[in-house]
Structure 1
C-alpha cells in the first residue's frame, strides 16, 4: 500500500511549511530513520516551496494510524520541536488516493499555478534522492516512474502548461500590477543562481527593465553580450546598497535566515517611495514586517496564490482532459501493483493448471476454469473475461 502525508499550500500556512523545508542532510536522516522501522518498506520526500510530502510504501495496511504517528514523531525529531496542533495542517492519503495524488502533483494539477513545469523536475529529484539513500525500491520506483511518464504525456497532449507555467512567471506579473510598467525601472534579484532565481532572471530579461542587479553564489549566470549591458552581478554583502535604486526587489535563496530585514531596509530607502518586495523562499527571505511601511508592497508564497487563480481559470478544458489521463495512469499502476502483490497466487495457479491439464486435458481444464470464474467471481470479473476474449 502507498501512503502519503502532505503539508501543502492548500491547508498549511507558510509559517508551518517552513519547519518542513528540510535540507538534504535532514531528508536523508528522516528517510533512513523511517525505513529502519519494521512498519515501513520504502520512503521518499517531495520538498518544494509550496509543499512537503512524505511517500511511504508499506505492507502493513492495518497499521495506518501507527505509521502516521511514527512519521510525525520522526519529523518533529528532525525539526527539533513539537509543533502545536500539527495534525490540523496535515492531509493524508492511502491506496488509490495516494497514487492519484502523486500523478496530479507530477502533472501540475495540484500546484498553486496549474500546469507549472518546475514541479516535474522536483518529482524526478525526489525519487532519485530516495534511491541514493536506498529507501526507494520496486514500488516507489515504479510509482514515480509511471507518474513522471504520464505527466510528460499530459504536458505534450494538453494545453495545461502553455501559459503562465511557473510561480516565477507570475512574480513579475504581480510586480507589474503595482508599478504599471517596467520601462525605466530597475530590479534587484537576490539568489539569481538558484533554480527559481534563474527562472525569474530569464523572465525578467524579456521585460523592459532599464537594469537588473543580481547576487550570485555560483558562476552559472548567462553573461552573453546581449545580457551584460542590462545585468550587473553584485556581491551579496552589498545588496542593501542597491535597494534604494531598485523598484522591484525579489529574493529567492535557500538559506535559513533573512536576506533582508526590516531595520536594514528602512535604513537604506527613502520612506514613501513605491517599492515591490517579493519573497519566493521557504523559509522566508524577507522580513514580513515591512508590510507596514508606507508605499511598500510585500508578497510571499502564500500571497501568490491569488495571482495563480486567474491563470488556472483559463485552463479548465485542459484540466478536464489531464484529469482523465491521470485516472487512466492510476488504474494502470494499481493493476500492476495488484499483480505484483499476488505473484505467488498466479504462480500456484499456473502449477495447478498444468497438473490438471496433464490429468484431464487442456480443453476440460479451461472449461472448468471458466465455470469457476462464472460461479465464484463477481459479475464485473466475468464481464472482463468476456470482453478480453471478444476482442
Structure 2
C-alpha cells in the first residue's frame, strides 16, 4: 500500500511548513529512520517551498499506526513536539496517494497550475531516495510512471504553455506595485540557486535599469549581451545595495534571515518605495521590514491571490489533464495489483499446465471460463468479455 502525508500551501501556513522544510541531511536521516520501522518498506520525501510530502510503501493497512510512526520520526528530526500541527496534515492512501502524486508531478496541485519546476523536484525526490537506498520496486515505479504521465500531460495540454512560475509571479507582484520597472533597480539575493536563477533569467526580459545579484558560486550567466545590466556583489555587501534597489527578491536555502529589520535601517531611503519578495521556506526576509515606511513585503503565502488569474485561464486544459491523470493512476494501480498477486498468477499457470496435460487445451480453457463465470462478479465477467473482444 502507498501512503502519503502532506503539508502544503493549500491548508498549512508558512510558519508551520517551515518546521518540515528539511535539508538534504535531515531528509536522509528521516528516510533511513522511517525504513528502519518494521511496517515501512520504502520511503521518499518531497520538499519544496510550498509543500512537504512523505511517501511510503508499506505491507500493513493500519493508517493510524503508520501516521504515528512517521510523525514520531519527524519529531526526532525537528527536535520538538509537533502534536499541534496534526490538524494541518493530510493523509492519502492507495488510489488517493497515487492520484495525488500524479497531480503534483503535472503541476495540477501547484499554487500556479502547470508550473514546470515541480516536475524536476519530483525527479530529484525519487533520485535522492534511491541514493539513500529507501526507494525500491513500488516507489520507483510509482514516481517513474507519475513523471512519464506528467510529461505527456504537459505535451498534450496547454497547462504549462504560459510559462508562469513562482519566480515569474514574484516579478509580476512587484511590477503591479511599481506600475512598471522602467528605470528601476533589482537586487536578487541567492541568484545562484535554482529559484534565484529563474528570477534572474526572467528579470532580464524586463526593463530594469540594473540588476544586482549576490553569488555563492559562479554559475550565473554573464554572457556579453547581459554583462552591462548585471553587477555581481558579495553576499556580505548586500545591505549596502538596499538603498539603491527598488525591488529586493531573496531565494536562498539557508536557515537564517538574509535581511533583518535592525540591519536594514541603516541603509533605508524613506523617499522611495521598495518591494521585498521572499521566495524561501523557511523565510529569508524578516517580515517586520514590511512595517518600514515605503516598504511592501510578500512571502509565499501572499502569492496565492496572484495565482488565481493564471489558473482561471487554464480551466479547459486542467479538465483534460485530470482525465489523463486518472488514466495514469488506473494503469499504476493495475500494475500494483498484479505485482502483489503474482503468486496467484504463478500458481494458476502451473495448475493450467497440469490441466492441459491431463485434458487438453480446449477443455482447460473452457473450464477456466466457466470458473470465472460462476465465481466472479458480473463486472469482472463483462470486463473479461470486453478484453477478449478487443
TM-score normalized with structure 2 length: 0.99
Asked if the contact 1:164–1:170 (Cα under 8 Å) also holds between the matched residues in 2, the reply is no
Residue in structure 2 matched with residue 52 of structure 1 by the alignment: 52
**Whole-Å separation in 1 of the counterparts to 2:311 and 2:21:** 26
- Cα offset, 1:359, TM superposition: 1.4
Q: Deviations over 1:218-268 (max 9, x none)?
A: 100010111110000001111011001100000000000000001112221
Q: Any residues of structure 2 matched to 1:272-283 within 5 Å, and which?
A: 272-283=271-282
Residue in structure 1 matched with residue 386 of structure 2 by the alignment: 387
Residue in structure 2 matched with residue 10 of structure 1 by the alignment: 10
Q: Any residues of structure 2 matched to 1:19-58 within 5 Å, and which?
A: 19-58=19-58
Residue in structure 2 matched with residue 200 of structure 1 by the alignment: 199
- Cα offset, 1:164, TM superposition: 4.1
Gaps of 5+ in 1: none
- Cα offset, 1:165, TM superposition: 2.6
Q: Secondary structure at the match of 1:302?
A: helix
**Whole-Å separation in 1 of the counterparts to 2:316 and 2:185:** 38
Q: Any residues of structure 2 matched to 1:176-187 within 5 Å, and which?
A: 176-187=175-186
Residue in structure 1 matched with residue 263 of structure 2 by the alignment: 264
Q: Secondary structure at the match of 1:56?
A: strand
Residue in structure 2 matched with residue 88 of structure 1 by the alignment: 87
**Whole-Å separation in 1 of the counterparts to 2:90 and 2:348:** 40
Q: Secondary structure at the match of 2:300?
A: coil
Q: Secondary structure at the match of 2:385?
A: helix
Q: Deviations over 1:297-321 (max 9, x none)?
A: 1000000111111100100000000
Aligned-pair Cα RMSD in Å: 0.8
Q: Secondary structure at the match of 1:365?
A: helix
- Cα offset, 1:273, TM superposition: 2.2
Q: Any residues of structure 2 matched to 1:362-377 within 5 Å, and which?
A: 362-377=361-376
Asked if the contact 1:164–1:311 (Cα under 8 Å) also holds between the matched residues in 2, the reply is no
- Cα offset, 1:84, TM superposition: 4.6
Residue in structure 2 matched with residue 191 of structure 1 by the alignment: 190
**Whole-Å separation in 2 of the counterparts to 1:319 and 1:294:** 42
Residue in structure 2 matched with residue 127 of structure 1 by the alignment: 126
Gaps of 5+ in 2: none
Q: Any residues of structure 2 matched to 1:195-234 within 5 Å, and which?
A: 195-234=194-233
Q: Any residues of structure 2 matched to 1:305-320 within 5 Å, and which?
A: 305-320=304-319
Q: Any residues of structure 2 matched to 1:285-304 within 5 Å, and which?
A: 285-304=284-303
| Equivalent residue pairs, number | 390
Q: Deviations over 1:270-315 (max 9, x none)?
A: 2252110000000000001122222211000000111111100100
**Whole-Å separation in 2 of the counterparts to 1:345 and 1:272:** 76
Moved more, 317-326 or 285-294: 285-294
**Whole-Å separation in 2 of the counterparts to 1:236 and 1:84:** 38
**Whole-Å separation in 2 of the counterparts to 1:350 and 1:208:** 69
Structure 1: 4+ residue segments shifted above 4 A: none
**Whole-Å separation in 2 of the counterparts to 1:387 and 1:98:** 29
